[in-house]
Amino acid sequence: MITDLERLSIESEPRPLAAGQTTVELSVIVPAYREGRRIHGNLTRLVGELDKLGVPYEVIVVSDGNTDDTASEAKRMESPAVKVFHYPMNVGKGFALSLGVAQSSGPLVTFIDADMELDPANIGAFIEMMTNSACDAVIGSKRHPGSRVSYPAFRRLQSLMYQLLVRVLFNLSVRDTQTGLKLFRRRVLEEPVPRRAIMRFGFDLELLVVARLLGYRDIREAPIRLDYRFESTVHLGSAWNVLWDTAAIFYRLRVRRHYDRVHRARLQQKADAIKDVEAAI
């Protein structure tokens, strides 16, 4: 991860914690691409919802190589909880999320897309579900029977076909891996994220595949409210890239067994650490 960061010239807008705030409990990662016209309003809406939760939080906005005013508009936020990171090259949503996780500190970490088509008011319900169930992650799902989704028929069909493909290839219990609102315990991200190979739209799937391999299997789906505005940066080219990334993840998982080697190396590191402790006693 450090190697990746060193390759980019990252501009940040560090801000002090709010008065009386000593520990962040919730980190909200917002990857942003070409959102200059609306990001200030969207972040204002997000901060308003987070203020209602009554927990110390931080919002980490990652401007993924934007050439518009996305970064400058985000920096106009007056909330001390909002931090903005920008780098000059468009690398992809997956990298932006990885950078956000690396810069965050809360034991709970939420991903939410900058367009706010997914209602940020859902975050409170996600936290409640995680608290009550002690699960590893809560994933927003358009397929959940309680979801209220305003979505074009063609996009519904695309989404359903992809969900079926993922189920066949990876046997994940999660029906909808691509919805941009997710809540994780930090431990679920600490090992999979640095090992990620996908930097664009397949990041979500790879993260869940690797987390499952590492034993984090208690992942719950939650209802969402989605207001599709027909302005998403996802298009046919992006859909093709998702399929390509999906094939690459399958190849690493089933053919090269790359993630298995990662898992075995992790177990060996733990075993070596235990031996070192025992030898020191």
Residues 16-33 have a mean pLDDT of 79
Residues 19-42 have a mean pLDDT of 89
Band (pLDDT 50/70/90 cuts) for residue 118 is: very high
CATH for the stretch 2-280? 3.90.550.10
Helix ranges (DSSP H) in 28-143: 39-51, 70-74, 93-103, 122-133
- Closest residue by Cα to residue 86 from 64, 101, 56, 58: 64
Band (pLDDT 50/70/90 cuts) for residue 1 is: very low
Q: Above pLDDT 90, what percent of the chain?
A: 53
pTM of structure? 0.84
Residues 239-267 have a mean pLDDT of 78
Read off the tokens for 150. Answer: 């305003």
Across 15-19, 95-99, 190-194, which has the greatest mean pLDDT? Answer: 95-99
pLDDT tens figures, 34-65: 999 999 999 999 999 999 999 999 999 999 99
Lowest mean pLDDT among 125-134, 135-144, 146-155, 163-172: 146-155
Q: What is the DSSP letter of 118?
A: B
Residue 241: predicted pLDDT: 80
Per-domain residue ranges of the chain: 2-280
Q: Above pLDDT 70, what percent of the chain?
A: 81
Residue 263: predicted pLDDT: 60
CA angle 178, 182, 187 (to 5 degrees): 120
Lowest mean pLDDT among 17-31, 141-155, 158-172, 241-255: 17-31
Residue 2 clears pLDDT 70, i.e. is over it: no
- Closest residue by Cα to residue 259 from 181, 197, 201: 197
Give yes or no for a contact between 99 and 5, defined as CB atoms under 8 angstroms apart.
Answer: yes
Residue 52: predicted pLDDT: 97
Across 40-49, 190-199, 202-211, which has the greatest mean pLDDT? Answer: 40-49
Read off the tokens for 36. Answer: 């200059």
Residue 22: predicted pLDDT: 62
Tell which wins on pLDDT, 175 or 124: 124
Identify the three-state secondary structure at position 225.
strand
Residue 239: predicted pLDDT: 74
Tell which wins on pLDDT, 71 or 238: 71
